[in-house]
């Protein structure tokens, strides 16, 4: 019984995201912080994770997200640069064989 209860508690952050995004049609900018707070609350009160570990995991998540955003920003910047310089059109023409 305890395993079932803990499993349902572990699903709460995912259920929070689902309810806020799909059912309540809230923007992700509101849904994700709420899911984060639910996750932190569960970690602190249900699983008794020390606050220092929760803070460290949060910082690690911020760093990972920043790395991903850095890569995406670079890719978008490169694409826009190629489009503005006409390189995309040149590549397209060379692939067509014209």
pLDDT in tens, the chain (98 residues): 899 999 999 999 999 999 999 999 999 999 999 999 999 999 999 999 999 999 999 999 999 999 999 999 999 999 999 999 999 988 998 898 76
| Nearest-angstrom CA–CA distance, 66 and 74 | 12
| Nearest-angstrom CA–CA distance, 84 and 51 | 49
């Amino acid at each position: 019984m305890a395993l079932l209860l803990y499993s349902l508690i572990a699903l709460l952050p995912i259920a929070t995201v689902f309810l806020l995004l799909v059912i309540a049609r809230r923007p992700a900018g509101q849904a994700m912080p709420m899911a984060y707070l639910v996750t932190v609350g569960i970690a602190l009160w249900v699983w008794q994770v020390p606050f220092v570990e929760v803070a460290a995991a949060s910082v690690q998540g911020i760093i990972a997200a920043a790395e991903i955003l850095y890569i995406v920003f670079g890719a978008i910047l490169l694409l826009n640069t190629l489009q503005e310089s006409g390189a995309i059109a040149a590549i397209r023409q060379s692939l067509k064989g014209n």
